[in-house]
Chains A and B, each alone.
Chain A
Amino acid sequence: MSSYVAPLKDMLFVINELAGLDDISKLPGCEEVNAELVEAVLGEAAKFAQEVLEPLNRVGDKEGSKLANHVVTSPAGFKAAYQQFREAGWNGLGGMTEYGGQGLPHLVSNPVQEMWNSSNMAFCLCPMLTSGVLEAMRHHGSPEQLQRYVPKLTSGEWSGTMNLTEPQAGSDLAAVRTKAVPEGDHYKISGTKIFITWGEHDMADNIVHLVLARLPDAPEGVKGISLFIVPKFLPNADGSPGERNDVKCVSIEHKLGIHASPTCVMQYGDAGGAVGYLVGEANRGLEYMFTMMNHARLGVGLEGVAVAERAYQHALEYAKTRVQGREVGQRSGDRVTIIHHPDVRRMLMHMKSQIEAMRALAYLSAATLDKAKHHPDAAEKRRHQAVIDLLIPVVKAWCTEQCVEIASTGVQIHGGMGFVEETGAAQYLRDARITTIYEGTTGIQANDLVGRKVGYEKGVTAMAVIAQMRETAAASTGDLSAIGQALSRAIDALQEATQWIVDTFQKNPNAVYAVAVPYLKLFGTVGGGWMMARAAQIAQCKRAEPGADVGFYDTKVTTARFYCEHILPQAAGFRQTVVAGADSVLALSEAQF
């Protein structure tokens, strides 16, 4: 059984060199952030992830959270770990400094989040949801609401949840039916919400639910949805949790993975209506949800990076210890560990190279999100906002789709033992499987990409990013020229496919949506190649410095080369599918299926 070791070297390389920590340190409010601080924070987080969260991952998977009489009990050890987690202040990593948070930028908080997710994704969902609630409050909460809820949510004494989905309203939130009836200074909420992650549990003193509901006079559809705070216990004047609100967990789902994370069916208003407080203005709830979307979707993309990393470490340890067969061409002599077999090598490289590319693209997005938030120059801020809006669906869907594939390869490396739960390889695959679904499925991400992000703006931002990619390809010369050429060909494919999307979007949107996912995968694949080529360039320069970690940099260059030889060629295939594959998707009538 492997144990998780945070890949600090690669994380710090990406943070410092690829994503550009120096630029982030120059942003207003980030002046304290420097390489030394980042190393200290990541080092301590790694310790916590490795020593506290990781040992609970199997326990959580085996035991799962349990529901009895509307009370959810978390798996053994989770409550104590959560207590340690919040006492160590980790809940406030990116939180607002005026309410007890540390205000660290995404480029610092996201790598830490990666570690939480690698070590124990199911646990990590609880603080992640809380940070989502905090993000919503930051933008739309009233001063009084901020005072009342944000300090406790920042410290982690209280946790938060997002209540969007209803049985009839999944990806289509226009169908939300939960009701909110005004009553004095508050509203009475009633309805059923499903898929509420950590909707009820025993780790925090109170749970703050953010609930989408309709006012009696609200217009139909998405423009008639409002956002409410519904606390499990109504806060007393002194801030302590008071009277129990009319909200309860009536069931928890039996799931493929993330067993420790209770996925709750929440019932509001069985006894006359749960007390809720309107956030911001009425009927703007969905719009408010969208303000947190980039934050939340980047978070799920990181889950993809994280679980893939964990699955890789697990498979690597197995490959280095499992003795089976002799080296190719040897008929006698010692049997060898399976890492000696070329195909096992290939699988490991496949995992490793993609994970590094995914991590780089995710952290680059984190840095872009920081710039979009904090850049003092309005034009720069807008430019970064456009880039991050474009990258988010790619990071979310591509990192999670690749994660599922990588976790599956992890099982494959274990052979028959991987199909047996005891080796632990299967858990990562099961846990990973949700990431392509929640917070907008891959299909929804791809539709967002080809529609709102590329189609409507006629590819302006996409082409600007492609131009940046071309600069990297052009700079890949000398020993790196093969990488540069492979990247150039892949960029050609991306550019042609993007042009096709732009040209086709107006006249035949159905065709565009039919090949949206292949286009998104093309974007991710080439984006990953872009990152690996840049990584190789930096590694090439850095390795010449005195005292350089030559081993790390050489490995990076080789890994980039593998990516260019094994992953990037897929770009041509995706391009072909995009520009010529839409017809067959839509050709059959429904009856022909």
Chain B
Amino acid sequence: MKVLVTAKRVIDPYVKVRVKSDGTGVETANVKMTINPFCEIAVEQAVRMKEAGIVTEIVVVSIGPLQCQETIRTAMAMGADRGILVETAEEVQPLAVAKVLKAIVEKEQPRLVIMGKQAIDDDSNQCGQMLAALLGWPQATHISNVTVNGDSAEITREIDGGLEKLTVKVPAVVTADLRLNEPRYVTLPNIMKAKKKPLENIKPDALGVDVKPRLKTLKVEEPAKRSAGVKVADVQELVAKLKNEARVI
């Protein structure tokens, strides 16, 4: 079966994010970028399924500026067969992402779409669910295991405090959680090979999708700094502070 995976280009998780001084967003110019870690897990899953003989072709999609080609090449070096870049310089919000992907799914007709559960930049956790809704497909989010058997898939999902088991009809959209797998290190020969794999570049217009943002970002700020510590008299006061002030318990 054919699988579609997505690969978002995000600021490297090891880079300390800096909020722009004018409050319009975070500094992304000349900052190290990488494939979204959850997308990387999604790609790894597809590659493993291909190695297991379940998947025949892996198509990787990225949406964003031209530099997303690097992200696609990374996914292809991991084992994806070909790439599609939907090139746009605009901010593409989750609903628009889902619409773009829907158009590609209709063209490519995959049996399974594997995405990351969320991107580590805007932390929205929406795209997979929205894509499934728009396609009228079942979804399985935050998965830690997936087995496809013909027209259905057995799923284990991570839920608060444990695991949940689902059976979903195929085609479906699934989104990867951290424990689904541990992505491989890309091998040097595969980096070289990825250069030669096909990579198609299309524009959202060509797909007939309006990607105009619906949410307007008014400002972006640094989170409040940890204030200087205080001495508390006893455990009662401590627990009260932890509950009401720090809100960590």
Whether the complex brings A and B within 8 Å at their CB atoms is answered yes
Chain B residues lying within 8 Å of A39, measured Cβ to Cβ, are 70
A87 at the interface (CB under 8 A from B): yes
Cβ contacts under 8 Å, B73 to chain A: 36, 40
CB distance from A320 to the nearest CB of B (A): 11
Using known A-B contacts A5-B14, A39-B70, A44-B77, determine if residue A88 contacts B195 with beta carbons closer than 8 Å. no
Who on chain A is nearest to B73 by CB?
Answer: A40
Pair A89/B188 contact, Cβ less than 8 Å:
yes
B185 touches A41 (CB 8 A): no
In the A-B complex, the 6 residue pairs with the smallest Cβ-Cβ separation, listed nearest first, are A549-B30, A89-B188, A89-B187, A88-B187, A44-B186, A89-B189
Residues on A with C-beta less than 8 A from B77 are 40, 44
Chain B residues with Cβ under 8 A from A52's Cβ? 185
For chain B, residues 60 to 98, give those with C-beta under 8 angstroms from any C-beta of chain A.
70, 73-74, 77
The residue on A at minimum CB distance from B189 is: A89
CB atoms of A552 and B30 under 8 A apart: yes
Name 16 A/B residue pairs within 8 A (Cβ), A-sorted.
A9-B30, A36-B73, A40-B70, A40-B74, A40-B77, A40-B191, A41-B188, A44-B185, A44-B188, A51-B185, A52-B185, A84-B185, A88-B188, A89-B188, A89-B190, A549-B29
Asked if A37 is at the interface of the complex by the 8 Å CB criterion, the answer is yes
New A-B contacts (7) at CB < 8 Å, excluding given A44-B185, A44-B188, A92-B189: A8-B32, A40-B194, A40-B195, A43-B34, A89-B188, A93-B188, A552-B30
Q: Are B186 and A551 neighbours in the complex by a CB distance under 8 Å?
A: no
31-52 of chain A: CB within 8 A of chain B: 32, 36-37, 39-41, 43-44, 47-48, 51-52
Known interface pairs A8-B32, A37-B195, A547-B29; A102-B188 also in contact (CB < 8 Å): yes
Instruction: Say whether chain A's binding surface is mostly helix, strand, loop, or mixed.
Output: helix
C-alpha gap A490/B188 in the complex (Å): 42
Size class of the A contact interface (CB-based, 8 Å): 20 to 34
Contact with A along B171-213 (1 / 0, CB 8 A): 0000000000000011111111011000000000000000000
Q: Is A523 an interface residue (CB 8 A)?
A: no
CB-based nearest B residue for A103: B192
> Nearest B residue to A553 by beta-carbon distance?
B30
By beta carbon, the residue of chain A nearest B190 is: A89
Chain B residues whose CB sits within 8 angstroms of the CB of A32 once the complex forms = 192, 195
Smallest CB–CB gap between B11 and chain A, Å?
Answer: 14
Residues of B within 8 A of A89 (CB): 187-190
Asked if B195 and A41 sit within 8 Å, CB to CB, the answer is no
Which A residues form the contact surface with B (CB < 8 A)? 5, 8-9, 32, 36-37, 39-41, 43-44, 47-48, 51-52, 84, 87-90, 92-93, 102, 547, 549, 551-552
Question: Which residues of chain B are near A9, meaning CB under 8 Å?
Answer: 30
State A552–B189 Cα separation when bound (angstroms): 32
Residue of A nearest to B30 (CB): A549
Binary contact readout B1-19 vs A (1 if CB under 8 angstroms, 0 otherwise): 0000000000000100000
In the complex, residue of chain A having the shortest beta-carbon distance to the beta carbon of B195:
A37
Contacts of A93 in B (CB 8 A): 188
Q: How far is the CB of B184 from chain A (nearest CB, A)?
A: 8
Name the distance in Å between B209's Cβ and chain A's nearest Cβ: 27
Give the most central of A9, A41, A44, A547: most B CB within 10 Å.
Answer: A44
Complex formed: what's the CA distance from A88 to B183 in Å? Answer: 13
Chain A residue contacts of B14, Cβ below 8 A: 5
Q: Distance (Å) between the CB of A115 and the closest chain B CB?
A: 13
Nearest-neighbour CB distance to chain A for B67, whole angstroms, equals: 10
Most chain B CB within a 10 A radius of its CB, from A41, A52, A93: A41
Of all chain A residues, the one with the shortest Cβ separation from B185 is A88
A363 to chain B, nearest CB (A): 20
Which residues of A sit under 8 angstroms from B190, Cβ to Cβ? Answer: 89
Complex Cα distance A418/B32, Å? 31
Given that A5-B14, A88-B186 are known contacts, is A44 also in contact with B191, CB under 8 Å in the complex?
yes
Interface residue from A5, A102, A549, A551 paired with B192 (Cβ < 8 Å) = A102
* B30: chain A residues within 8 A (beta carbon): 9, 549, 551-552
